[in-house]
Amino acid sequence: MRNPPPSLLSLTVNSAVLNLSRINDLSHLPDHIVLQIFARTLEAGKLNERILRLFLASGNEEVLSAIDALKIKFDITPIIPTRCHEGFRMNMLD
């Protein structure tokens, strides 16, 4: 017995997950599709800081609550300036 062919929606979601690095905005997509893309992204192990920011910016409430429920956080590493102007220097050598 044959398996039924995948649906167009399933193929589209899989394609979106494979090409997430090229996507800049998810806010124009329906909420249920964003949720499916998020779930498949987690399954594929492709969630990184940039992609997490993409999902956060979508404003999808279900995705935001899933992120909170899974306690997913991204590390904000402070960037130390490599060059300081004379007026900004700290008196650390005194």
Q: What is the number of domains present in the chain? A: 1
The pLDDT value given to residue 37: 97
Does the residue 48 lie in any domain? yes
Q: Please answer whether residues 37 and 13 qualify as being in contact, where contact means their C-beta atoms are separated by less than 8 angstroms.
A: yes
Does the residue 54 lie in any domain? yes
Cα angle 15, 16, 19 (rounded to 5 degrees) comes to: 85
Does the residue 31 lie in any domain? yes
Return the DSSP state at 90. Answer: -
Does the residue 20 lie in any domain? yes
| Domain with 54 in it | 8-69
Within 10 Å of residue 60's Cβ, how many Cβ atoms?
23
The pLDDT value given to residue 83: 61
The pLDDT value given to residue 40: 96
Does the residue 80 lie in any domain? no
Does the residue 77 lie in any domain? no
Q: Smallest Cα–Cα separation from 34: which of 57, 50, 7? A: 57
pLDDT tens for the chain, 94 residues long, are 788 999 999 999 999 999 999 999 998 999 999 999 999 999 999 999 899 999 999 999 999 999 999 988 877 666 666 665 555 555 555 4
Name the residue with tokens 């979601």. Answer: 13
Find the DSSP H helices in the chain: 8-18, 31-44, 49-58, 61-69
The pLDDT value given to residue 69: 92
Q: State how far the Cα of 5 lies from the Cα of 14, in Å rounded to an integer.
A: 14
The pLDDT value given to residue 84: 55
Q: State how far the Cα of 46 lies from the Cα of 21, in Å rounded to an integer.
A: 10
Does the residue 33 lie in any domain? yes
Does the residue 55 lie in any domain? yes
